[in-house]
Amino acid sequence: MSRFPLWLTLLPLVAGVVIWHLVWKGYANDFKAEVAAILPPATQISSSGFPYRLEVDVQNVDQQYQGPSLTARVRADTLIAHRVPWQKDRQVLNFVAPEAELALVALPDVRVRIAAPHAQASLRTEPGRIARLSAVWEQPEIRTGLFAAGFTATSFEAHLRETPATAAPEPSDPRLPTQAQLVLSGTDLRHGDGAPLNISLSAEITAAMPIRSYAIWAAGGTVEIEDLRLTDPTGEILRVEATLVPDGEGRLRIAGTLETVCPATIRAAASGQPAPHEMRARTPELLAFSGRLPGEINVAPAPPGKPAPPVRGQLPPCPALG
Tell me how far apart the alpha carbons of residues 105 and 145 are, in angstroms, rounded to a whole number: 13
pLDDT of 275 higher than 90? no
Mean pLDDT score, 91-108: 91
Q: Which is more confident, 208 or 3?
A: 208
pLDDT of 2 higher than 60? no
Tell me how far apart the alpha carbons of residues 155 and 198 are, in angstroms, rounded to a whole number: 10
Residue 43 pLDDT level (bands cut at 50, 70, 90): confident
What confidence score (pLDDT) does residue 169 get?
A: 65
Lowest-confidence region among 123-132, 133-142, 182-191: 123-132
Tell me how far apart the alpha carbons of residues 159 and 136 are, in angstroms, rounded to a whole number: 9
pLDDT of 181 higher than 80? yes
HSE, CB side, 13 Å, CA atoms: give it for residue 188. Answer: 9
Tell me how far apart the alpha carbons of residues 276 and 269 are, in angstroms, rounded to a whole number: 10
Neighbour tally for 64: CB within 10 Å:
11
pLDDT of 151 higher than 90? yes
Residue 36 pLDDT level (bands cut at 50, 70, 90): confident
Lowest-confidence region among 48-52, 64-68, 130-134: 48-52
Lowest-confidence region among 112-121, 130-139, 287-296: 287-296
Task: Report yes or no: 194 and 159 within 8 Å, Cβ to Cβ.
Answer: no
Mean pLDDT score, 234-258: 93
What confidence score (pLDDT) does residue 47 get?
A: 78
Mean pLDDT score, 281-304: 88
pLDDT of 28 higher than 90? no
pLDDT of 118 higher than 60? yes
Q: How does pLDDT run across 295-317, given as a tens digit for each residue? A: 788 998 887 777 766 666 667 88
What confidence score (pLDDT) does residue 213 get?
A: 86
pLDDT of 65 higher than 90? no
What confidence score (pLDDT) does residue 35 get?
A: 79
Lowest-confidence region among 4-8, 18-22, 26-30, 307-311: 4-8
* Helix (H) or strand (E) run with residue 59 in it: strand 54-66
Q: Which is more confident, 106 or 116?
A: 116
Mean pLDDT score, 135-164: 93
What confidence score (pLDDT) does residue 5 get?
A: 64
Domain residue ranges in the chain: 1-87, 98-322
What confidence score (pLDDT) does residue 131 get?
A: 92
